[in-house]
Structure 1
């Protein structure tokens, strides 16, 4: 048996930029062990698996080593595939049932706008493994249900970070989001995201991290709509708009591969 498989670069309009995700289209649910084997074979930050349902799609995300509760770039990639392949009309909203509830995506010109839960950080004491792993004392440290959240003193500090990933892997969280206000660029804030405990030392562009970044910087900068740049080696742009307990994340996507996965 074979399954339709796409690889899409998300949060970019250029191939080989942004964050690559694999999207596997299934007709019916498959065993979790098989899903994990496929994700390990793809060896990308996330592989998304979708199964049709009467009111949309069931959507699950797997890293090379395990399932995650929330993933922005693979959701963006999945919506892009559904429209590009003609499985959804261009004007129809994509609706996904996930471990984080119902998520939706709609097209807005060249951009895709996703409706995600807000995940604002609450002030927390940075554990020693976090301080040693980053090699600095945070300006601010916080925590949400998934990640630690750290603000540093400048964009230069953020861009030149050389984390100790073995130490960060010992932090009891999914990962660590590091951010600063942007200086001298068209972006409001910049960020990087590290997930060594889930098999990804540095994620290229992390949609779910912006569920924390959006409410944090909206409050700090007193702006309703912001543009963030994730300053990884590949880089990517995420537009954000907090709305109560939700966040609208906007990004672009481009397909780099279409094929068949032999099951």
Structure 2
């Protein structure tokens, strides 16, 4: 009799263990992953075209190249400014670290000074937290005293940013970047130094697996030496052509003050991950 009872118990335990293991596997398979990984992660890894940087770091041994064109209608004038290629190269390092370089950009203005290059900027990013809800990173940046007399920087500058992204649901996410900087104007504009606090808020929406849209408000507490604060709004769309190629379009509008010295702008770009 005892043996007869043991057999059904063993059979029940076997079935229970199998069901538990199957359910556990399904639960882990369905568990959301970080926005920094997966087949469409490039949409979240990319920095452009919005002003805020991505809170994700480039994967180890990968490189991202971002570039674009921007056409600006300048404030309080009939002038225009075109900038290109706005190129940034980002290198994935071990330990959730990233090295990035923003190369000099060519500026073509409709009035004097008509031509010139911006300064070079290099930075390091470290991702502190990375899960299915939160991605948090910090950055340190160095601005080199190079570029042309009208569009570069007279002296060395520096900056630091904290970036936080929260995934609300599979469609919506918010990003906040808070930064501080100490920069100098170009030699043409006097080369004075000014310190700045830079708040930024981005709301992103996933239209599909390959299409993403965002709206952004960002500003500066000082737009230059002796100047006051200013804010801009920006919006754009990103299209993932392949898992490693993105094209984007965006447009921006001045809200207050003179950050960037433009009234409005539009731009487009292309980025690659290798």
Same fold (TM over 0.5): no
- If asked which structure has higher relative contact order (CA below 8 Å, sep 6+), I would say 1
Q: TM-score, normalised by structure 1?
A: 0.28
Q: Which of 1 and 2 has greater Rg?
A: 2
Normalized per residue, which structure has more helix? 1
Normalized per residue, which structure has more strand? 2
